[in-house]
Amino acid sequence: MAKVKKTPRPKAETPKGFRDYFGAQVTERTEMLTRIAGVYHRYGFDALESSAVETVEALGKFLPDVDRPNEGVFAWQEADEGDKGDWLALRYDLTAPLARVYAQHRNDLPTPFRRYAMGPVWRNEKPGPGRFRQFYQCDADTVGTASVAADAEICAMLADCLEEVGIPRGDYIVRVNNRKVLNGVLEAMGVSDAGQQADVLRTIDKFDKVGEAGVRELLGKGRLDASGAYIDGVGLDAAQAEPVIAFLTSKGATVAETLANLRAAIGDSPVGADGVSELEQIADLLAAGGYGPDRIEIDPSVVRGLGYYTGPVFEAELTFEILDEKGRKRQFGAVAGGGRYDDLVARFTGQQVPAVGVSIGVDRLLAALREKGRIGTQDQGPVVVTVMDRDRMADYQAMVAELRAAGIRAEVYLGNPKNFGNQLKYADKRNSPAAVIEGGEEKARGVVQVKDLILGKIIAENATLEEWKERPSQAEIPRDQLVPHIQKLLKGQG
């Protein structure tokens, strides 16, 4: 008889491009999202939790750098009674689902509709350092108004969110531009071919990397990149390229100077003039609200996803320096962005619905806060009530019940209580602030022992024998004083 082949054990490993989050990481993220939600709510936005799964058709072709709607997303085809059903996919952002929700429920929603949403999104892309297939986004959008006051409000709210979570003023800047201005530049250049326009947009997007001279070369015949490879240019002559250069270098010392330079760059373009006028209105509204150029500035170099947006665009950049993996100084970079997208809902309704929104990159913002030392401390564990006598488990459960009723995190040790040292090792591994000990002798005298585990670590690492005697890390207290003693101990630990 043939030997039955054993089923191989599954590998205990995270799928490529995904990761696990443990206690402190989850707590940090939850606290940050709560702070951001508080700002959104204060601005009058309501929470919306939409489905994580959408039809591929509803998601649409809005994922960057893909040609097919189900490319770049995790998608599957649903079986429908033996026939092929709809293609479904995990959402790749929180904006495409909003368009579907608004189109579906628009008759029951106020106009404008102001919502915020937080949650994971999924992208079926090649993972890399710091690039994962599942990550969190934190969005706020206003749907149903074309007023630039909505754009200005989103920018102000973004600045407030950064300060609320611990990014001080001076360590960030919200930069604002307008797609209409760039459309005006394209008109001034005389570039009407859609393919050539796309090439110009891609070249503009490289301004931060290659600078003015590099952009000139790429708009013309081309250039050699850092590896020595030749990159073909767009093929424009010097006169055609000049409006792009004027646009990219138009940032002045003041808002008025920047706007004047932009008006010169767009020439006689009506759409460009509309864009500059909108930027001027946004700057005026922000100034009236106390948001000066130290927090929010007009910056024509912002070119994030301009093919997606129809008007103002903005980006929050952290300006403090960090060290990269090679020890070189560099700025932290962008942690949020957004803009006006007036065509998204029209995919469902056939009618243009103006909308503007922002998305905060949760993981990048958390990384920034760790760099600033605002978070990253080990999460405090529970007070551990040790077990000295298995037959008195009810006594120990009564202790944790009292502690929990007072709002103190606590648990009874549920492992094998035979080795008391292992119980204390467990408490240390849990980063517990204290351990409670009650043996038969303590029970008879109506007392408990409370071991200050944090102080014990400090003394063990830094203190002399004399200091140990002066500052005992273990105290005997009356059983009925357990809760106030633990409260005082926790307060002393800070």
If you average pLDDT over residues 349-375, what whole number do you get? 89
pLDDT at 355: 96
Find the Cα–Cα–Cα–Cα dihedral 197, 200, 204, 205, rounded to 10°: 70
Range of the domain at 346: 18-146+342-379
* C-alpha to C-alpha distance for 63 and 6, rounded to whole angstroms: 43
pLDDT at 66: 47
Which of 2-16, 145-159, 454-468 bottoms out in mean pLDDT, i.e. has the lowest? 454-468
Pair 268, 301 in one domain: yes
pLDDT in tens, 206-254: 887 888 888 888 888 888 887 778 888 888 888 888 888 888 889 999 9
Going by C-alpha positions, the residue among 271, 294, 216, 224 that lies closest to residue 249 is 216
If you average pLDDT over residues 135-161, what whole number do you get? 96
Residue 397 covered by a domain: yes
Residue 231 covered by a domain: yes
* C-alpha to C-alpha distance for 141 and 285, rounded to whole angstroms: 18
Pair 189, 293 in one domain: yes
pLDDT at 82: 59
Pair 425, 411 in one domain: yes
Pair 304, 181 in one domain: yes
pLDDT at 304: 64
Number of domains the chain is built from: 3
315: part of which helix (H) or strand (E)?
A: strand 312-323
pLDDT exceeds 90 at position 316: yes
DSSP3 helix / strand / coil % (the chain, rounded to 5): 45, 20, 35
Residue 298 covered by a domain: yes
Residue 68 covered by a domain: yes
* C-alpha to C-alpha distance for 275 and 132, rounded to whole angstroms: 36
If you average pLDDT over residues 353-370, what whole number do you get? 91
Asked if 45 and 357 count as a contact pair (C-beta separation under 8 A), the reply is no
Amino acid at 77: Q
- Contacting residues for 78 by C-beta, under 8 A, at least 6 apart: 85, 86, 87, 88
- Residue that wins the pLDDT comparison between 302 and 423: 423
Q: Which tokens in the block code for residue 108?
A: 């029951």
pLDDT at 67: 47
* C-alpha to C-alpha distance for 108 and 253, rounded to whole angstroms: 47
pLDDT at 321: 74
Residue 192 covered by a domain: yes
Contacts 24+ apart (CB under 8 A), 67-71: 71/124
Asked if 161 and 39 count as a contact pair (C-beta separation under 8 A), the reply is yes
Pair 42, 125 in one domain: yes
Pair 466, 350 in one domain: no
Residue 481 covered by a domain: yes
The CATH number for 421's domain is 3.40.50.800
- Contacting residues for 344 by C-beta, under 8 A, at least 6 apart: 62, 95, 96, 99, 353, 355
Going by C-alpha positions, the residue among 42, 70, 247 that lies closest to residue 164 is 42
pLDDT exceeds 70 at position 305: no
Mean pLDDT of the chain, nearest integer: 87
Q: Has this prediction a pTM greater than 0.85?
A: no
Share of the chain above pLDDT 70, in %: 90
pLDDT in tens, 424-459: 999 999 999 999 999 999 999 999 999 999 876 666
pLDDT at 81: 62
Of 259, 293, 313, the residue at which a domain comes to its end is 313
Pair 374, 406 in one domain: no
Q: How far is CA 388 from CA 238, 393, 421, in A?
A: 85, 9, 11
Residue 457 covered by a domain: yes
Pair 299, 201 in one domain: yes
* C-alpha to C-alpha distance for 164 and 365, rounded to whole angstroms: 12
Asked if 115 and 98 count as a contact pair (C-beta separation under 8 A), the reply is yes
The CATH number for 347's domain is 3.30.930.10
pLDDT at 139: 97
Pair 375, 387 in one domain: no
pLDDT at 377: 59
pLDDT at 224: 81
- Residue that wins the pLDDT comparison between 138 and 209: 138
Pair 99, 181 in one domain: no
Pair 197, 306 in one domain: yes
Residue 324 covered by a domain: no
Find the Cα–Cα–Cα–Cα dihedral 404, 405, 407, 409, rounded to 10°: 0
pLDDT in tens, 383-406: 999 999 999 999 999 999 999 999
pLDDT exceeds 50 at position 69: no
Pair 239, 131 in one domain: no
